[in-house]
Every structure is written in C-alpha cells, then in structure tokens.
C-alpha cells in the first residue's frame, strides 16, 4: 500500500485530501501540520508520495522542499500550492518536486496528478503548464537577440559582480564589458544597468533563492 504524506498547516485541507482519497484501497494517508513534523515522518518511515504545501509557518517553502528531497531522495513530491502562477511551479520543479497543482484545481486533476507522480512521471496542472509554455516562449523571444557572451555577462552582473570583476572572471578588458553592456541595453530596449539586473533575475539567469 502506498503511504501518502500530506503536509499542510490547515486541518481542513488535510481533511479534504483524506476524504478525496477515502475510497482508495491502495493509499494510506498520513498527515503533518508543519515542516518539522514532515521531516520527522520521512526520517521515521518510508513514504511513497509527499503532497506538500510550500506556504508553511517556520520551516517551509523551497528550503523545506530541498530538505525533504535530501532526506528521502526516492520519495516524489507533489506541491499543492495556493499560488497558481507559473513561476512557483518552475521554482518548485527546479528544487526537486515531481509535480505541481494549485488549490484552484479541480479534484479530478489533483487525483490525476497523485497517480501520475506515484507512477513516476511529472505532473503539472494544465493551466499552469500552459502559462509556463507561454512564459518560456516570451522569454526566449525577448532574449533571442543576445549572444552567449551577452548572457554570460548579464548573469555575472545580476549575481552582484562589478564590471571590473566581470572582466577579470572572463579574462577580457573592462572596456569590452562596458561596451557589451551598452549593446545589451540597446538590444533589450532599456536605459539603466539596474534594468538589466532586474531582467536577468526575472528571467532566472541567476538563482538568488
């Protein structure tokens, strides 16, 4: 029998998931109301699937997700989030989740995601998946004018490096870095270096989480 751990600080959510799965003879539902409780459960016993709300008090968010992945690397995690934006799904998958469903999803879609992740595949809510695809296309189109060197310099800039530090790391002249940044601003239609940093972080060119 599959052991499914529901991690959510709201008893009504945990109860709702238990009722949804109530007729399933192949699943036993376990509960944790906090990140600390969840960690203790996965350390004490094998779990087949973790359904995780990232918005927990105390230990929560992507840090909890990463800790659970390290503690139980063979246990897949399905994020069940109050957020339906694509950026949350992207960050969760990058941190090791195997699925993402928002709390706006229909019960049938949640159950399909549970079965899919238990079967070893990745499951993403359809509306979120569509937004992710549109977002990726938009970002690709926006950054398409940039060369690999442009992207490299932009990433180093957003990571907090000065122009002198970028030049030293890439083995090029300070003037080359400055000229390249001027061309990047022209290509992206912005006027300030701060705009470039905002764009780089927003496009995920550097991981500041």
Domain ranges (residues) in the chain: 2-133, 145-202
Q: How many helices (H) and strands (E) does the chain have?
A: 10, 6
**148-158 vs 193-202: helix crossing angle, rounded to 10:** 100
pLDDT value for 147:
85
Q: Which fold has domain 2-133?
A: Rossmann fold (3.40.50)
Q: Which fold has domain 145-202?
A: Arc Repressor Mutant, subunit A (1.10.10)
Round the average pLDDT of the chain to a whole number and report it: 91
**86-94 vs 61-71: helix crossing angle, rounded to 10:** 30
> What is the four-CA torsion angle of 64, 67, 69, 74, rounded to 10 degrees?
-120
H or E element that contains 5:
strand 2-7
- E runs forming strands in 57-195: 77-81, 99-102, 123-124
pTM: 0.68
Q: How confident is the model at residue 79 (pLDDT cuts 50, 70, 90)?
A: very high
**163-170 vs 148-158: helix crossing angle, rounded to 10:** 130
Residues in the chain: 209
| Predicted confidence (pLDDT) per residue in 24-44, tens digit | 999 999 999 999 999 999 999
């Amino acid at each position: 029998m599959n052991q499914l751990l529901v991690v959510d600080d709201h008893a009504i959510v945990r109860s709702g998931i238990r009722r949804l799965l109530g007729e399933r003879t192949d699943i036993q539902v376990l509960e944790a109301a906090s990140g600390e409780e969840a960690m203790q459960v996965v350390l004490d016993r094998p779990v087949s699937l973790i359904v995780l709300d990232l918005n927990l008090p105390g230990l929560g968010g992507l840090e909890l997700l990463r800790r659970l992945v390290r503690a139980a690397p063979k246990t897949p995690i399905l994020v069940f989030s109050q957020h339906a934006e694509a950026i949350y799904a992207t960050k969760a998958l990058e941190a090791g989740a195997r699925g993402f469903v928002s709390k706006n999803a229909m019960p049938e879609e949640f159950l399909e995601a549970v079965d899919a992740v238990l079967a070893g595949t990745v499951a993403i809510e359809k509306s979120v998946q569509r937004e992710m695809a549109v977002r990726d296309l938009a970002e690709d189109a926006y950054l398409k004018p940039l060369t690999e060197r442009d992207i490299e310099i932009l990433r180093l800039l957003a990571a907090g490096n000065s122009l002198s530090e970028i030049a030293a790391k890439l083995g090029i002249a300070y003037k080359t870095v400055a000229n390249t940044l001027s061309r990047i601003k022209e290509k992206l239609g912005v006027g300030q270096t701060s705009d470039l940093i905002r764009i780089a972080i927003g496009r995920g060119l550097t991981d500041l989480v």
